[in-house]
Amino acid sequence: MDSTTQRHGIAAYQLRFSGSGGEYFRVWIVNLLLSIVTLGLYTPWARRRTARYFYDHTMIAGSPLEFTAPLRKMVVSFILFALLYVAYKIAAETGQDTVVSIFIIAAALLAPYVWGSAMRFRLASTRWRGLQLQFAARWKDVYVASWPIFLMAAIWVGITYGLDVLSADSTQAARPPGGRPGPAWPRVDAPMWGLIAIGLVLSVLCIIRVEFNYKSLLVLRAGIGKQRGRWKPVYSDFVRIWGATIVVFLAGVALILALAAGAAYAVQSMFSTVRGPAMFVLIFFIAIAAILGLVLASAPARAYREARMFRLIWSNVGLSQIARFKCDLQHWAFVRLRIKNILLTLLTLGFYRPFARVSEYRMKADAVTLHVKGGLDQLVGELVRQQDALGDALADMAGLDIVG
């Protein structure tokens, strides 16, 4: 039973995850085998079974979440996406550059629409104690929040043009006077590197901004009944987390490079006389080790960012003035858990993956506490009445009848 404390009329309910790695392993292995047998066609069924498992075992104030997404919509969306992807690959493989360009432009223009549709679907498919979440953002709001995506595209169009100009000037300056015209190889000089660096920095800032815009829009336009979400974080909070993540990533890369240098020296000393097929096998294993090293170098940074972002958001959001969340997730503990999970997943050839996912989900869920002003039962009853009134109004506007 959840521990509940009453202080100044505010009750605290800690989230609990009641699932286990062994239970989810059975769901995961069935999904994996059926997806392989059906060549991926089982994917929407697998995603639905996975979502329902995690929802059903996530307890808030003693009541589980419910995932009520209609399977038909998930199947139709999957088939539509698969057909579009196949069409794009065919166009790319057959050299239809115009069609490929149209696909890319269409994808950029439709990206905000796809995100907004996914958020509507996710929230509309989530219920708790009979309450259905909603995402009430207008399409205008979604596209306005997407301005960093379009700005980033414009930045790289300008940088590409600038690189072409600098490349032409560099090639012309490198050609000897009066020499025979031959193949001109463009040089990447300091101004070009500077332009690329500016583009990368501005792109990172745009990515951070679009993440901030989308998360804030999702919270502020989400709600239950007449109650809307409350959002406190600011853009600088996201920038600080990303900056710290870059530092963690560089530290991880430096550590991996130091270990790789030491390992290379040791290998060279031990296998200096190796020749022929044995050398090929040795090079192969060194390449595999290098790839694993890159994965391990980025894993702590990705886990660090994920944990800090999770805590930032879940400590600064709420529902109107009647409910708020607090989170005490420790980011370094989450980083250690992620590294352990990656190593065990590699050692077990992937079969530890469901246990890893459950352990990370449990650490996150158990770190969140819901604080509610007043009695929970009274609050839920009022929200249900608001929700029903809103649903009836929307149905009347659409000319539909609610049956059952």
pLDDT per residue over 93-129, tens digit each? Answer: 887 878 877 887 888 888 899 999 999 998 889 988 8
301: tokens are 């940074």
**Of 398, 360, 357, whose CA–CA distance to 28 is shortest?**
357
Predicted confidence band of residue 7 (pLDDT cuts 50, 70, 90): low
* pLDDT of the residue at 65: 92
Q: Is beta strand 63-67 parallel, antiparallel or unpaired with respect to 58-60?
A: antiparallel
In 10 A of CB 227, how many CB atoms? 19
Please, which residues have CB within 8 angstroms of residue 82's CB and are 6 or more apart in sequence?
Answer: 40
Predicted confidence band of residue 402 (pLDDT cuts 50, 70, 90): very low
What CA–CA distance (Å, rounded) separates 81 from 74? 11
**Environment class of residue 27 by beta-carbon count within 10 Å: exposed (0-12), middle (13-18) or buried (19+)?**
middle
Going from the C-alpha of 73 to that of each of 56, 69, 374, the distances in angstroms are: 21, 8, 38
| 265-312 pLDDT, tens digit each | 776 666 656 555 666 666 667 667 767 777 777 899 999 999 999 999
Beta strands per DSSP E along 96-154: 126-128, 131-132, 134-135
Are residues 49 and 74 in contact, defined by beta-carbon separation less than 8 angstroms? no
| Ordered DSSP codes for 270-292 | HSTT--THHHHHHHHHHHHHHHH
Are residues 306 and 244 in contact, defined by beta-carbon separation less than 8 angstroms? no
Predicted confidence band of residue 218 (pLDDT cuts 50, 70, 90): very high
Please, which residues have CB within 8 angstroms of residue 242's CB and are 6 or more apart in sequence?
Answer: 204, 208, 305
74: tokens are 């998930």
| 15-73 pLDDT, tens digit each | 999 999 999 999 999 999 999 999 999 999 999 999 999 999 999 888 899 999 888 98
Predicted confidence band of residue 170 (pLDDT cuts 50, 70, 90): low
Going from the C-alpha of 90 to that of each of 40, 95, 102, 103, the distances in angstroms are: 19, 9, 14, 12
* pLDDT of the residue at 187: 64
Q: Which range among 61-70, 78-87, 233-242 has the greatest average pLDDT?
A: 233-242
Give the length of the chain: 404
